[in-house]
Amino acid sequence: MIISVTKQMERELLARHYCLDLALYAIKMSDPYISVRENLTYTHKELIIKNKRVSVGGKIYVAGIGKASCRMARAVEEIIGDDIEYGVVSTKYGYGEKLEKIKVIEAGHPVPDENSLRAADEIIGIARRMKPEDILIFLISGGGSALFTKPYPPITLDELIKTHDLLVKSGARIQEINTVRKHISFVKGGRFAEMVPGKIISLIVSDVVGDDLSTIASGPTAPDPTTYADAKRILINYDLWDKIPENVQKVIDKGLRGEIPETPKKLENVDNNIIASANIAAEHSARRALELGLKPVIMTTTIEGEARHVGTAIASIIEEIARNHRPFKPPVCLIFAGETVVTIRGEAGMGGPNQELALSASMKIRGYRGVALIALDTDGTDGPTDAAGGLVDSKTYDILMDRGIDPEKSLMRHDAYNALKISGDLIKTGPTGTNVNSIMIAVILR
């Protein structure tokens, strides 16, 4: 009997170890610096991007927007060196790094500020000094929309911020918010790409579920399938048309009348390349799982929904495998990625979507030895907390109940952080330097 219990404990610890190893490996391989180094080379006036060769007939310029732009730019400097003519990157305050050839501007995020406008003007200045034979390497990552801001005249920065705030509070989906943002911006929705006379090579770290190029940082180098009519319909549907600033109304109505050009529906001068994403992170985890002797299954990289419900759904799959060995026979590793949300009504404790997902799952995997689940945000910050997420197993529920904490009540109070802290299941990575949404990994060894 003692041997049996020991083996159960060993399986439990091993499952947790595998979960943590696979998740941290996914984060490591999603590092923007590593991702650029893996996807870009330069030699003898020739750029190679993901095995595509591009001859350099003119000068090479660099621009970047987003929280990862400095790390990406540092890699580009190391690869191209003195052949960089000039460059500017815009990143969040506190995210700047000293670069040799590329100017760094720190600006406001998530709310843009005057430096966001300055960064946009300086990057537009690069486009205007370029010639048709020149190349612009454009580095895009999460946060780029706020850090690269230029309202369409005569809209002011304050009016743009007010419009965005109204949309967020209305419950509009991110795709709908971006539709409006692109049509009141001078640079979003592919408009920046239209200004560039030469070729643009975009290297993109995606923080968007499904990797929609027109949504990542509001798509400055991607064609935009939406229209001014879509933008106005969204504002009307959410009862915002009469609440937005008059200048925003004027720009949209001018666009509807054809007095302002539509966002481009096709771009000939752009090569967009996603070099890091939730999908790529999941593939890295799968390869690592094979090295550890586990059978990996990527279940989905586009998971969305209320965190606690997603946690229950994932735990149900784990339970089916542990009990009935279907649809997969253990040992197996299940990989999920995407972005869940928490809807808060009333007062709330501490936590984030990944912590709620993990705590919710712990109630259903209770008692299934040799099973563990990790859920974490790849940027190292889950919600407004210092934790990246949680790592739970078959004992989490019982530990909490023994210590007088009801997991269900903790979920109702949105207090997953304090519950997981008590059970010893919080994961704290600190800032990771990347953001490719969230990853969830389940290991079933039964």
129 within some domain: yes
249 within some domain: no
Give the pLDDT mean for 1-5: 33
Which of these three, 234, 250, 275, is where a domain ends? 275
Which of these three, 215, 246, 275, is where a domain ends? 275
Same domain, 19 and 102: no
Among residues 208, 221, 225, which one has the least CA distance to residue 65?
221
CATH, residue 70: 3.40.50.10180
Map tokens 């059970």 to a residue: 423
pLDDT tier, 4 (very low <50, low <70, confident <90, very high otherwise): very low
Same domain, 72 and 12: no
Among residues 306, 305, 304, 303, which one has the least CA distance to residue 414?
306
pLDDT tier, 347 (very low <50, low <70, confident <90, very high otherwise): confident
pLDDT tier, 366 (very low <50, low <70, confident <90, very high otherwise): very high
Domain assignment of residue 340, given as a range: 2-29+278-444
pLDDT tier, 7 (very low <50, low <70, confident <90, very high otherwise): low
Same domain, 354 and 433: yes
Tens-place pLDDT, residues 79-112: 999 999 999 999 999 889 999 999 999 999 989 9
Same domain, 147 and 88: yes
237 within some domain: no
Strand 135-140 to strand 199-205: parallel, antiparallel, or no bridges (unpaired)? parallel
Residue 9 has pLDDT above 70, yes or no: no
Strand 46-49: give its sheet, edge to edge. Answer: 40-43, 46-49, 52-55
Torsion of CA 21, 22, 23, 24, to 10 degrees: 50
Give the pLDDT mean for 256-262: 97
Q: What is the reported pTM?
A: 0.89
Same domain, 76 and 208: yes
Same domain, 208 and 91: yes
Tens-place pLDDT, residues 280-330: 999 999 999 999 999 999 999 999 999 999 999 999 999 999 999 999 999
Give the pLDDT mean for 258-287: 97
Same domain, 271 and 314: no
Same domain, 91 and 21: no
365 within some domain: yes
Tens-place pLDDT, residues 104-145: 999 999 899 999 999 999 999 999 999 999 999 999 998 899
Residue 30, both tokens: 């999603």
pLDDT at 10: 84
HSE-up of 50 (CA within 13 Å, CB side)?
Answer: 11
CATH, residue 341: 3.40.1480.10
Q: How many domains does the chain have?
A: 2
Same domain, 290 and 303: yes
Residue 350, both tokens: 């501490």
Taking the chain, what is the end-to-end CA distance rounded to the nearest angstrom? 18
368 within some domain: yes
Assess contact for 187 and 220: CB atoms under 8 A: yes
Same domain, 68 and 93: yes
Residue 1 has pLDDT above 50, yes or no: no
173 within some domain: no
Among residues 395, 376, 390, which one has the least CA distance to residue 425?
390
308 within some domain: yes
174 within some domain: no
pLDDT at 8: 58
Assess contact for 196 and 269: CB atoms under 8 A: yes
Say which residues have a Cβ less than 8 Å from residue 336's Cβ, sequence separation at least 6: 282, 299, 300, 301, 303, 314, 439, 440, 441, 442
Residues 62, 36: Cα–Cα separation, whole Å:
13
8 CB burial (10 A radius; 0-12, 13-18, 19+): middle
Assess contact for 108 and 157: CB atoms under 8 A: no
pLDDT at 61: 98
Phi, psi for residue 339 in degrees, rounded to 5: -150, 120
| Secondary structure string (H, E, C) spanning 220-264 | CCCCCCCCHHHHHHHHHHCCCCCCCCHHHHHHHHHHHCCCCCCCC
Same domain, 271 and 415: no
Tens-place pLDDT, residues 155-194: 999 999 999 999 988 888 888 999 999 999 999 999 999 9
Same domain, 12 and 95: no
